[in-house]
Amino acid sequence: MKLKLQKSSSFETQTLVVFVAKADKDKKPTAVGVASGIQELLHSASEDSVFSGDKKESALYRNVQRGGAKNILFVGLGKANELDSEQVRIAAAVAFQGLRSSKATEGALQLDSILKLFKKPAEVVEAAAEGLLLSNYEYDELKSKKNAKKKDEKKELVEISLLVGQPTGAMEGALKRAEILSECQNFARRLGDAPGNYMTPSILANEAVKAAKGTGLKVTVWDKARIKKERFGGLLSVSLGSHEDPRFIIMEYKAAGAKKNPTVFVGKGLTFDTGGISIKPSQSMEEMKYDMCGGAAVIGAMLAIAKLKLKVNVVGLVPSTENMPGGAALKPGDVFFARNGKSVEVFNTDAEGRLILADALSYGTELKPAAMFDAATLTGAILIALGNTHTGVFTRNDKLMKEIQDAADETGELVWRLPLTDWHVEDMKGTHADLCNISNNRLAGSATAAAFLEQFVGEGIPWAHFDIAGTAWNVSSRFPYNPKKGASGVLVRTFVALAERS
Ligand code: BES
Ligand code: ZN
Ligand code: ZN
């Protein structure tokens, strides 16, 4: 599907999308810059109580032939004074779904009514384009040819025009940026949606290598022997029960001169988490193919940073393995030594994400990062605390938290800070080793996991941990540009925005 920026005057299209803000009490909703015939239609829609301009609301009028369009699709924006770029992204996703159901092969979004409400017009173009391109994602690689053919016969949306009074260079730039960000977020989703047998650690590493070709990214992949030689005791321990060898993926992008310390992104790349010997119940276990979504977010963000040609130094690190039971598997009570020399006793082999991140964070520390961020589907507890709207953020650094909040506000991704204190560190002390991988109570499970990770981050390094277990998949009920079921690609955009602030 192609997006084009076009002048709104006298534009002809199959289906025209008209965005409408919710009117004040006792007032009729009005559309800006549209033909009077469309305005009439809107008035009758509101009089019939079919459409009022509420968030996520839409009304399709077929074969009405007004304002140069065969069909008119009204899409609600909610209250004009509450409109932000995330609401534009959502409205564009609702428009996409309406365009699809109108069976149009081409359509146009009239953006003028939104543009007049924003200081930066490019922001509107970027959000609208992302809403459309993220909605167009579908994971159908594993459908049989027969079903794929059926899809070809369906009418496909091939082109959508974004209509503005006067296209500018800044708007064109915003469209290009949205294309890169959406492509890389969709790539991260694809890595997540691929099932465990199609997304092993070595496949994940190969995907990163392949996608990085021609982007200026340097990708290095360590195999099992190298992982052992480099004393990655956590990654190696978790991989013991699996027939699939682990991988450690290093992605480097240097465009800010050799002297500038890099920003390091670390992502949990657990391609399937059975729990290991502390095996999970079978109910919903298939969802554990998504346990590499932190790694996918890092790979997606690194690709986007390179494709956007940002003038920054960044390194992406993805420890990747399966977590399986088996004759050689790690056992409860086993002790290993992590890369930084600390010993860890493993009381629960299902708390494995923190074990593979321990080595990666230790290695990241050695790169003397200006800042380090990690993303992981780390705890079920974060779902209880925050549900599927907000990613949990843990950091002791207030300045870094402000940057994270600013970056997230810019991209529309929701984050929420939770506590990380010495009390949580105390809960993670070991009996016969330095640390234990689970706390001695079940309380504040996401915070104690963060406290464990902190033990592998060098003193003084600005660091934040993002727990995406609630936001990495099945979030479309809240955010309609996400697939009904499947990976969201969360944090790709916010990590890029953080790199831009480095
Ligand atoms: N991958 C899981 C976390 C998870 C659970 C993500 C549910 C998404 C949905 C992680 O490896 C895990 O199993 N964590 C345990 C930790 C516990 C044993 C301390 C958990 O959260 O139950
Ligand atoms: Zn687990
Ligand atoms: Zn896990």
> From CA 133, how far away is CA 128, in angstroms rounded?
9
In this structure, are residues 206 and 300 in contact, taking their beta carbons and an 8 Å threshold?
no
In this structure, are residues 495 and 483 in contact, taking their beta carbons and an 8 Å threshold?
no
For the record, the structure tokens of 178 come out as 């949205």
Q: Where are the alpha helices (DSSP H) in 102-168?
A: 112-115, 121-135, 145-153
304 φ, ψ to 5°? -65, -45
319 vs 98, 189, 192, 290, CA distance in Å?
Answer: 41, 18, 15, 15
Please state whether the predicted TM-score (pTM) of the whole model is above 0.95: yes
According to the model, what pLDDT value does residue 31 have?
86
In this structure, are residues 406 and 299 in contact, taking their beta carbons and an 8 Å threshold?
no
- From 379, 388, 467, 490, give the residue whose CB has the most ligand 1 atoms within 8 Å, as the site to mutate: 379
Residues with CB under 6 A from ligand 1: 273, 291, 348, 350-353, 377-381, 438, 445, 469
For the record, the structure tokens of 211 come out as 């996608």
Instruction: Based on DSSP, count helices (H) and strands (E) in the chain, helices before strands.
Output: 16, 18
Active site residues: 280, 354
For the record, the structure tokens of 250 come out as 């290093």
What are the 10-residue block averages of pLDDT along the chain, 502 residues in total? 95 96 88 89 90 95 95 96 96 97 93 93 97 97 77 77 96 98 98 98 98 98 98 98 98 96 99 98 98 99 98 99 98 98 98 99 98 99 98 98 98 98 98 97 96 98 99 92 96 98 96
According to the model, what pLDDT value does residue 48 have?
85
Q: Provide CB contacts within 8 A for 247, sequence distance 6+.
A: 201, 202, 204, 205, 221, 222, 223, 227, 269, 320, 321
**Residue with CA nearest ligand 1 atom 8:** 469
According to the model, what pLDDT value does residue 442 have?
87
Q: Which atom belonging to ligand 1 lies closest to the Cα atom of 470?
A: 8
Instruction: Break the chain down into helix, strand, coil percent, rounded to 5.
Output: 40, 20, 40
> From CA 283, how far away is CA 342, in angstroms rounded?
35
According to the model, what pLDDT value does residue 148 have?
65
In this structure, are residues 494 and 411 in contact, taking their beta carbons and an 8 Å threshold?
yes
Buried b (16+ CB within 10 A) or exposed e, 473-486: bbbbeebbbbbeeb
For the record, the structure tokens of 463 come out as 């660091």
Amino acid, single-letter form, for residue 9: S
Residue with tokens 């039971």: 325
